[in-house]
């Protein structure tokens, strides 16, 4: 269910204060807002977020040595074949595509796990939780998607809270790229790639409703150009 968004300028001001605390460069004054006053926000259905998390986790398993036959078998047994994007399918089946880009999805999985309430933090200065893998499907042991859902019992975060964190990562994405471009120090242990992956996941999971918003984009269609 959609709910009203908070004042976007108040959220932006708070997030810019956080960038200043981290000693990161600030975006220009004309940097766009993520939403407008009067918009509404919701999260994608929990099952859809869980499915995206599980598929990305399977893709990562392929990155680290899972045979293609095992990957396809797990997708079939979990009834997730239709949730795999064409680039992901090509990689799972034949190892085609940019291996490094798929490995980076680890941070996208972390952000989705945060949205689902499976991780405690999404600290932009810290790497993923060490026990993140324990909270994801145990593919190696044959745990299906349905079994994982029963075990984890996700409790998604409020849409307004998630939207505010999306705005933060929208600003962080610009700030980290600018810091790396100019050689400025980063505040923590992760780089712009990790920040971008987390933003990707949040952009996909959060759905805004309003006159300036399109229908929710597919995973591969999320626009990270600004």
Residue numbers of the chain with a pLDDT score lower than 70: none
Residue 121 gets which letter from DSSP? -
CA gyration radius for the chain?
18
| pLDDT reported for residue 187 | 97
| pLDDT reported for residue 226 | 85
The partner residues of 179 in beta bridges, in order of sequence, read: none
Tokens of 33: 């807002």
Tokens of 182: 């100019």
Most distant pair of Cα atoms in the chain: their distance: 51
Q: Write phi, then psi, for 117 (nearest 5 degrees).
A: 80, 20
How far, in Å, CA of 34 to CA of 121, rounded?
22
Answer yes or no: pTM beyond 0.85.
yes
56, 92 Cβ separation under 8 angstroms: no
121, 90 Cβ separation under 8 angstroms: no
Length of the chain: 226
């Amino acid at each position: 269910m959609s709910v009203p968004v908070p004042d976007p300028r108040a959220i932006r001001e708070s997030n810019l204060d956080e960038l200043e605390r981290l000693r990161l460069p600030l975006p220009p004054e004309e940097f766009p807002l993520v939403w407008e006053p009067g918009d509404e926000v919701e999260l994608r259905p929990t099952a859809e977020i869980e499915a995206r998390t599980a598929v990305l986790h399977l893709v990562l398993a392929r990155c680290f040595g899972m045979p293609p036959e095992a990957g396809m078998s797990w997708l079939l047994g979990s009834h997730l074949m239709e949730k795999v994007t064409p680039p992901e399918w090509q990689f799972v089946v034949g190892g085609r595509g940019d291996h490094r880009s798929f490995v980076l999805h680890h941070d996208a999985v972390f952000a989705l796990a945060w949205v689902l309430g499976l991780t405690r933090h999404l600290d932009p200065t810290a790497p993923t939780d060490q026990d993140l893998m324990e909270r994801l499907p145990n593919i190696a042991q044959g745990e299906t998607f349905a079994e994982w859902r029963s075990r984890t019992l996700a409790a998604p975060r409020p849409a307004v809270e998630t939207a505010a964190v999306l705005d933060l990562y929208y600003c962080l994405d610009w700030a980290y790229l600018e810091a790396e471009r100019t050689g400025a120090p980063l505040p923590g242990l992760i780089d712009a790639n990790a920040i971008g992956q987390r933003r990707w996941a949040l952009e996909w999971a959060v759905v805004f409703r309003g006159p300036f918003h399109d229908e929710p984009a597919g995973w591969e269609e999320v626009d990270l150009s600004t």
